[in-house]
Amino acid sequence: MSLAATAPQLAVRPRWTFGDWTLRKALATIVLWLVVLVMVLPLVWAVLSSFKPDLETNTFPPSVLPRNPTLANYRQLFTVLPFARFFLNTMLVAVATSVITILLSATAAYATARFRSRVAETTTAIGLVAYMLPGIVIVVPVFAVAQALHALDSLPALVVIYTAYFVPFGIWQLRSYFAGIPIELEEAAMVDGASRLEAFWMITLPQALPGLIATGIWTFTVAWNEYLFASVLLYTQSHQTLSIGLATVLVGDTNLYSWGVLMAACTLMTVPVMAIFMLIQRSLVAGLSSGAVKG
């Protein structure tokens, strides 16, 4: 009798399947959709509430869909409040901060990835530790420095502060990404006559595009929603950003307070960030995952 015939038959555990779907995949999909629903539900509620009149918003029990849809909240948002000025200031600050942060982070990350030394490693670590400090810890020194330099109530000063705060994380994110790009590509370009700067600009930087996009979107999102430094440094209404302007004018003034107008402002404030995420979603995911595992 053969050995195979006498060997004990191993019990095969049955798997619950529904076509091509296993039970585990089905449960995972249900859980993910529930998480997405919980995260999206407040945004959907804000959008729907922005089309409700105040009388309908304050009724109990509240209705999910607006019974009498209206655009009055959006008209009031632009007529009573300087919303357009808040929006423009926020866009200028967020875009300028993102561009400058990407430029500084990319060059510094490339230098630390290609020319490693104890000084570079220590400086990068100290910068990352400084970034991990809560903003409330450094807001008083930042205010004192801005006051000494006569830079209060200034959008360029706010851009400088945001950039200094975001660059350490940008360096940490892009450094691992540059380290994963083969140096042989640059050496081949330099053999053909390119300088180090030309090889970085034409060869390495395009290879790191997903990481640059991920860093830029993260910087733009944080700068767009930042409240603490803007509330301390900006006090003139014409210079305020969306976060501090809406909190000061709309919520702080009881004569202008309205849930419908507030929901309309939140909806318009969310649209640019959502549009950017939807347009470059694939590049963002690729940049975050590659920067996390390379190097």
DSSP letter, residue 14: P
pLDDT grade for 291, boundaries at 50, 70 and 90 = very low
Domains of the chain, by residue range, sit at 17-72, 80-293
Helix (H, G, I), strand (E, B), or coil: what is residue 18? strand
Mean pLDDT of 46-70: 81
Q: What is the pLDDT of residues 41-57, one digit of tens each?
A: 888 888 888 888 877 87
Q: How far apart are CA 170 and CA 101, in angstroms?
A: 7
Q: At what angle do helices 259-279 and 23-49 cross, to 10 degrees?
A: 130
pLDDT band at 101 (very low <50, low <70, confident <90, very high): very high
Which of the pair, 286 or 44, is modelled with greater confidence? Answer: 44
The residue that leads in pLDDT, 230 or 192, is: 230
pTM of the model: 0.77
Q: Give the containing element (helix H, strand E) for 1.
A: none
Average pLDDT over the chain reads 80
Superfamily of the domain at 80-293: MetI-like (1.10.3720.10)
Residue 283: band (very low, low, confident or very high) from pLDDT cuts 50, 70, 90: low
Residue 69, SS3 per DSSP? coil
Say which amino acid occupies 157. Answer: A
pLDDT at 90: 93
Tokens of residue 264, six digits: 């309309």
Question: Is residue 73 within 8 Å of 51, Cβ to Cβ?
Answer: yes
Point out which residues pair with 18 in neighbouring strands. Answer: 21
